[in-house]
Amino acid sequence: MNGEPTRLVDDSSVRDELRQRLSSEAATKPQYDFDQGLARLRATIANLPSGGSGPDSDASGTKLSVANYAVKGSVWKVAGIVGLAGTSVVVGVRAWSPATHVGRMDAGAAASPAAASPPTQGEEPDPALTGVPLAATTEQQAATTRPSQEAKPVARSPSTPAAADKLREEINNLAQIRAALAGDPATALALSDEGNRRFAGGVLQEEREASAIRSLAALGREADARRRAQRFLETYPKSPFAERVRLSARL
């Protein structure tokens, strides 16, 4: 466009020092574990009421959706833990009411794409945003706004305490695996095998298997690592862990 201003970094009238700093800033990438972030997002989306039916659904995503629809009331707590499972310390399990969150998620999901079209800046956040429950403080704020969109009866929620507990246990298992991976791959492998037995077809099977392959590689069991890695890549060709698995198994 003709009216486009010249960027400061390209403007010779701007001090070189500032241009260099802006250029350096543009080249700097934030440190963020994108694999973990993607895994957490997938688990979250899969557990949304409409999870797995969106445009992102791939084979594994659909599997996760079906497996976890019954525990959607605990999805956000789950997602928080999944996001932290790769760290050595599991923290941040947030206190919140599953019923409230289900209601808020319903409110957000109820907005059609047209209705959810974001308002211009300066307006109140739309339901799609305020309905995202992540921090207790956000919840407190949401509780005081837009009461008409707050929690609705959760008659269609199939949540059961048993299912929620099961999912929580599976996540704890993965967190233990990840913690053990740092220095005790034998324990990590044993925990993975135990997880596979206890949570057959579980939501975190992909993450668990990727960890098991890393454990095998760390233990020097290269043939086993390669065999399972090949099977992993066949099963989850689009996995965010694929590259890590290939590297671990030297494929």
Partner 1 sequence: MGAPAEAQTTETIGAEALFRAHAPFVAGFLVRLGVRPSDLDDLMQEVFVVAHRRGGFQPGPARPTTWLARIAIRVAMAHRRTRTRHWGELDEDAVSLAVGSEPSPHAQAEAAESLSIVQRALESLDVERRALFVLFEIEGESCDDIAAGLGIPVGTVYSRLHAARRDFQKAYAKLTGRVQASRQQPGVWR
Helix 34-47 crosses helix 59-68 at what angle (to 10 degrees)? 50
CB of 209 to partner 1, least distance (A): 19
Work out which of 12, 13, 16, 17 binds partner 1, going by CB under 8 A.
17
For residue 8, the number of C-alpha atoms closer than 13 Å in the C-beta half-sphere is: 13
Count of residues binding partner 1 (CB under 8 A)? Answer: 66
CB of 162 to partner 1, least distance (A): 26
**73: closest CA among 135, 175, 154?**
154
**69: closest CA among 149, 157, 7, 3?**
157
Q: Is 37 in the site for partner 1 (CB under 8 A)?
A: yes
CB of 129 to partner 1, least distance (A): 5
DSSP-derived secondary structure for 194-232: HHHHHTTT-TTHHHHHHHHHHHHHHTT-HHHHHHHHHHH
**151: closest CA among 161, 138, 141, 142?**
142
Nearer to partner 1, 92 or 153 (CB): 92
Nearer to partner 1, 97 or 160 (CB): 97
Choices 12-20, 152-160, 172-180, 212-220; region in contact with partner 1 by CB under 8 A: 12-20
Q: Is 231 in the site for partner 1 (CB under 8 A)?
A: no
Choices 24-32, 149-157, 158-166, 209-217; region in contact with partner 1 by CB under 8 A: 24-32
Residue 15 dihedral angles phi and psi, to the nearest 5°? -55, 140
Q: Which of residues 102-161 bind partner 1 (CB under 8 A)?
A: 108-109, 111, 113, 116, 118, 120-122, 125-126, 128-132, 134-135, 137-138, 140-141
Question: How far apart are alpha carbons 125 and 146 in whole angstroms?
Answer: 10
Nearer to partner 1, 40 or 228 (CB): 40
Nearer to partner 1, 4 or 234 (CB): 4
How would you write 37-93 as a 3-class SS string?
HHHHHHHHHHHCCCCCCCCCCCHHHHHHHHHHHHHHHHHHHHHHHHHHCCCCCCCCC
Binding site for partner 1 (CB under 8 A): 1, 3-5, 7-10, 14, 17-18, 20-26, 28-34, 36-38, 40-42, 44-45, 48, 54-58, 61, 79-80, 83, 108-109, 111, 113, 116, 118, 120-122, 125-126, 128-132, 134-135, 137-138, 140-141, 240
